[in-house]
A = this chain, B = another copy of it.
Amino acid sequence: MRTLTVELGERSYPIYIGSGLLEQIGSYLERHSVSTKSPLLVVTDDHIAPLYLDKTVEQLEHHGYRVVTSVVAAGEKAKSLSVFEDVMTAAIQGGLDRKSAVLALGGGVVGDLAGFVAATYMRGIKFVQIPTTILAHDSSVGGKVAVNHPLAKNMIGAFHQPVMVLYDVDTLQTLPMRDVKAGYSEMIKHGLIWDEAFADWCYSHADSLLSLNREDLAYGLEKGCAVKAAVVSQDEQENGLRAILNLGHTIGHAIEAVGGYGEFLHGEAISIGMIGSALLAVNRGRERSIYTRTKEILERFGLPTALPKHVDTEQLISALLHDKKFKENLIVFVLPVAIGKVEIVSDITLDEVRSVIEQLKEEA
């Protein structure tokens, strides 16, 4: 079992990564002073519920916890104010009080939704993350929780750190292969922005990671979380450094949007976005090897590195301009300086972006 601490002063918390952890959930909660006198709320989705909900509730009840559950429909649509209100109703009807905890059993969507419930129920109660996807290694660090507004993603939210993250790698074994691949996109990103050796390790362990070898998986998750934790510890409220975590996300979010949040998984869109950032950097005079190596690593994981030709360039540009990173006709971008190092560039023009989008489509 691996343990990593996210250092945030009095809000510091541990991430436990290993096999068989879900069977010990009760003792982990006790160790973190979650009272058995107050009911717990477990939030999950209808994909995860049939696999792990009964087992989780059973373990918790075995430890003397009273448990209320709320199962939402799988997918991004669960991050709406209306589903948020439904989960709040479950919390109130279940009698949760100020010493209760909300447990997020699932991926990033469940974590964001349940986390925002925990952040705002009675002005904030305890929050525990139990990620069941590889991708969630990213969202489980940093305390960003949110729901969507019909006009913009993640617009309504808070910073609310969990009291612990319990990462049971066994729950990842049931992931569909497409989610496995897409899940590694953010892990690779953590190498690309911070740690060339880790990016190289990902590349050389791709086969074992894709086959979900528990030991390598746990190591990769720990390293990925550690990079994010290092960044977040220095900039909890996203005032500066934390922006480097957005590598690939400006173009990536636009790709997700034009695909109607269905055609591309988040990890896939980010993968294409990271190639886009590498091209922007190369077009501005950086070493071409930044682009070729980035592409090589992402392709090794079967991740997309080109934009399908049917994607409309102007529609993509328009989605990108709706993004919050836009300022006075110039766009802020995180660009690679080398593998393992990035910089924030705030004067990227629309023409540069347009040209890179065309390059991304030529690759297809």
State the majority secondary structure of interface residues on A. Answer: mixed
Q: Which residue of B lies closest to A328 (CB)?
A: B37
Q: Contact check, A120 vs B158: say whether CB atoms are below 8 A apart.
A: yes
Q: Given contacts A120-B157, A123-B157, are A151 and B85 in contact (CB under 8 A)?
A: no
Of B81, B92, B324, which contacts A155 at CB under 8 A? B92
Q: Smallest CB–CB gap between A281 and chain B, Å? A: 26
Question: Are the CB atoms of B81 and A123 closer together than 8 Å?
Answer: no
Chain B neighbourhood of A120, CB < 8 A = 120, 156-158
Inter-chain contact A158/B124, CB cutoff 8 Å: yes
Bound form: Cα–Cα A84–B81 in Å: 10
Q: Is A219 in contact with chain B by the CB < 8 A criterion?
A: no
Chain B residues in 8 Å Cβ range of A88: 149, 155-156
Interface residue total, chain A, C-beta cutoff 8 A:
29
Give the chain B neighbours of A122 by CB distance below 8 A. 155, 157, 324
Among B97, B156, B237, B238, contact of A121 (Cβ-Cβ < 8 Å): B156
B-contact 0/1 string along A101-141, CB 8 Å cutoff: 00000000000000000011111100000000000000000
For residue A152, which residue of chain B has the nearest CB?
B92
Question: Do B89 and A85 touch (CB < 8 A)?
Answer: no
Q: Does A144 contact B (CB under 8 A)?
A: yes
Alpha-carbon gap, A136 to B88, bound state (A): 27
A159 within 8 A of B: yes
In whole angstroms, what is the CA distance A123 to B155 when docked? 7
Q: Does A33 contact B (CB under 8 A)?
A: no
- Please tell me if the beta carbons of B124 and A159 are within 8 angstroms of each other in the complex: yes
Report the separation of the CA atoms of residues A105 and B340 in the bound assembly, to the nearest whole angstrom: 49
Q: Is A275 an interface residue (CB 8 A)?
A: no
Residue-wise, chain A 143-176 has the 8 Å CB interface mask toward B (1 for contact) of 0101001111001111100000000000000000
Query: A329 an interface residue at 8 Å Cβ cutoff?
Result: no
Q: Report whether A119 and B158 are in contact in the complex, using a CB–CB cutoff of 8 Å.
A: yes
Distance of A121 Cα from B84 Cα, bound (Å): 16
Selected from B81, B92, B93, B324, the residue in CB contact (under 8 A) with A81 is B81
Q: Which residues of B contact A156 (CB under 8 A)?
A: 88, 120-121
Residues of A170-224 at the interface with B, using a CB-CB cut-off of 8 Å, are none
Q: For A144, what are the chain B residues with a Cβ–Cβ distance below 8 Å? A: 123
20 residue pairs A–B, Cβ–Cβ below 8 Å: A81-B81, A81-B85, A89-B149, A89-B150, A92-B151, A92-B155, A97-B324, A98-B324, A119-B158, A120-B157, A120-B158, A121-B155, A121-B156, A122-B155, A122-B324, A123-B144, A123-B159, A124-B158, A124-B237, A158-B158
